[in-house]
Amino acid sequence: MALPRITVLISGRGSNLASLLAAETAGRLHGTVGTVISNRADAAGLAVALAHGARINVVDHRAHAERERFDAALAAAVDASRPDLVVLAGFMRILGPGFVGRYRDRMLNIHPSLLPCYPGLHTHRRALEDGARIHGCTVHFVTADLDHGPIVGQAAVPVLPDDDEATLAARVLAAEHALLPAAVRAFCEGRLAIVGRRVRVRGERTPATAALFVPAA
Ligand code: GRF
């Protein structure tokens, strides 16, 4: 049977995209990243996609005065790639309800916080300002309610006393690179079921530790 076809949307560096491509190469994704679409022509992630042999496309948001026009152009590009799954991996544009509804239950986003804490931007700065001791990342289905869709998985990291935004972001990013391929694989294997606002992950493993204590007891 053909592997599920994945289209990834990016805006910049593309390190989460790279984590998906590495998982695909290692046979751990159970899906194929066929197309990568960026809203910026200078996104470094486009070169990562090309090196992997994926098709690339640019839909520049600045070429469209209204968001609806941009969303329509983006939807046309996404549809042309005939995806089973759309993954927002560092895609930094807000998508309107029409676009979101079109890919309902088959579009995932990676967000750098433990949702529902810190939706939106500057998540690491806000966690530090609040004195949070545990922070992390979330993969969720995309709904029209920004950063609030059903949660597929989360990874938690400690916030250390000497952390600044950069060191905390790096620790969370390493967790993102493990979480996103695992979540995408679960989708590709048909193991995700949305039940109301929750996601059931069939065959998920119980974590080895019951809780993360920071500071440790
Ligand atoms: C990641 O932290 C992602 O969670 C956020 O933007 C960053 C993108 O990084 N939305 P990259 O482009 O995947 O390297």
Model confidence pLDDT, tens digit, residues 4-21:
999 999 999 999 999 999
Let me know: does 104 contact 96? Beta carbons within 8 Å. no
State the catalytic residue, choosing from 30, 111, 135, 140: 111
For the cut 80, the answer to whether the pLDDT of residue 1 exceeds it is no
Interval 157-205: pLDDT, tens? 999 999 999 999 999 999 999 999 999 999 999 999 999 999 999 999 8
Q: What is the DSSP letter of 161?
A: T
Instruction: Name the residue with tokens 């509804």.
Output: 101
Q: What is the DSSP letter of 26?
A: T
Phi, psi of 21 (to 5 degrees): -65, -40
Task: Enumerate the H helices of 32-164 as residue ranges.
Answer: 45-52, 67-80, 97-102, 123-129
Q: What is the pLDDT of residue 197?
A: 95
Which of 35, 37, 34, 46 lies closest to 3 in space, CA to CA?
Answer: 34
Domains observed in the chain: 5-201 (3.40.50.170)
pLDDT band at 207 (very low <50, low <70, confident <90, very high): confident
pLDDT band at 211 (very low <50, low <70, confident <90, very high): confident
Which of 18, 9, 23, 49 lies closest to 188 in space, CA to CA?
Answer: 23
Let me know: does 50 contact 23? Beta carbons within 8 Å. no
Interval 90-130: pLDDT, tens? 999 999 999 999 999 999 999 999 999 999 999 999 999 99
Let me know: does 43 contact 34? Beta carbons within 8 Å. no
The whole-angstrom separation of Cα 143 and Cα 111 is 13
For the cut 80, the answer to whether the pLDDT of residue 42 exceeds it is yes
Q: Whose CA is nearest to atom 5 of ligand 1?
A: 90
Interval 126-149: pLDDT, tens? 999 999 999 999 999 999 998 899
Ligand 1 binding pocket mutation candidate from 10, 16, 147, 165 (most atoms within 8 A of CB): 16
Residue 12 Cβ contacting ligand 1 at under 6 Å? yes
Query: To 5 degrees, how large is the angle CA 83–CA 88–CA 90?
Result: 145
Q: What is the pLDDT of residue 208?
A: 78
Q: Which atom of ligand 1 is nearest to the CA of 18?
A: 13
Q: Whose CA is nearest to atom 14 of ligand 1?
A: 15
What is the 134 CA–ligand 1 centroid distance (Å)?
A: 19
Query: 3-state DSSP call for residue 194?
Result: strand
Tell me, yes or no, if 111 is annotated catalytic.
yes
Which of 138, 154, 168 lies closest to 207 in space, CA to CA?
Answer: 154
Q: Which atom of ligand 1 is nearest to the CA of 11?
A: 12
Q: Whose CA is nearest to atom 8 of ligand 1?
A: 90
The β-bridge partners of 8 are: 36, 87
Interval 61-99: pLDDT, tens? 999 989 999 999 999 999 999 999 999 999 999 999 999
For the cut 90, the answer to whether the pLDDT of residue 28 exceeds it is yes
Q: What is the pLDDT of residue 205?
A: 87
Q: Which atom of ligand 1 is nearest to the CA of 137?
A: 4
Phi, psi of 111 (to 5 degrees): -125, 135
